[in-house]
Structure 1
Amino acid sequence: MINLIIMAKCLSSIYVVGHVVEGDFLRGIIAMPARKALEKEKIDSLEKLSDYSEKEIMELHGFGKNTIEKLKIYMKENHVSFKNN
């Protein structure tokens, strides 16, 4: 019985290390409606986001001036920017 408990603990820690939660991209940076809009467009990384212009992202549901400003600050901190129009 003890062996089963030890094995379960080992397996769960392996699972947690390799586990990536979907929908976590930009969590804590921008609000859920904007994150869902990005998810709908299959934008799940800063690299993919940089393939879009600021204007294109502003057209998505959930994006306004505040959200774009937060996003631009975060992107700048990570040395990424929107593509030029």
Structure 2
Amino acid sequence: MSAEKTLRTCEKGHQFYKSSDCKSCPICDKESKPETGFLSVVSSPVRRALLSEGIDTLEKLSEHTQKEILALHGIGPSSIPVLKASLEEENLDFKS
């Protein structure tokens, strides 16, 4: 049985339905998605988690271990291969 969806309005006035307590607006998420770069190939929760930690470049990402990145809310094991591939394209890797 799924939770009941409720109508919400974000700070920008977008209206959307959500069944979870997550406050993110799907319309704002789409509007803020970059067209290029590694943040354009990850999901919105991953992008929000990284940006909330100030990780907006691959160089900054490479300063963290996989374990540190996985500890962020919104990032799961399936996002690591995508992030790792982006790092490898720039001859970078997660911190050991």
Scaled by the length of structure 2, the TM-score of the pair is 0.59
8 Å CA contact 2:38–2:58 kept in 1: the answer is no
| C-alpha separation in 1, matches of 2:45 and 2:73 | 7
Does structure 1 residue 64 correspond to structure 2 residue 76?
Answer: yes
Choose between structure 1 and 2: higher strand proportion. Answer: 2
* Consecutive aligned runs of 4 or more in structure 1 exceeding 6 Å deviation: none
Provide Cα deviations, 1:4-24, integer angstroms capped at 9, x if missing partner: xxxxxxxxxxxxxxxxxx763
Q: Which amino acid aligns with 1:63?
A: I
RMSD of aligned C-alpha atoms?
A: 1.7
Gaps of 5+ in 2: 1-31
> What is the deviation of 1:27?
3.4
The structure, 1 or 2, with the larger RCO (C-alpha pairs under 8 Å, 6+ apart) is: 1
User: Which of 48, 71, 95 is residue 83 of structure 1 equivalent to?
Assistant: 95
Aligned to 1:73: 85
Larger Rg computed on CA atoms? 1
> What is the deviation of 1:31?
0.3
| C-alpha separation in 1, matches of 2:60 and 2:39 | 16
Distance change (3 Å), C-alpha of 1:23 and 1:40: farther
Matched-pair identity in %: 40
Gaps of 5+ in 1: 1-21
Choose between structure 1 and 2: higher helix proportion. Answer: 1
Q: Which amino acid aligns with 2:75?
A: F
> What is the deviation of 1:62?
1.8
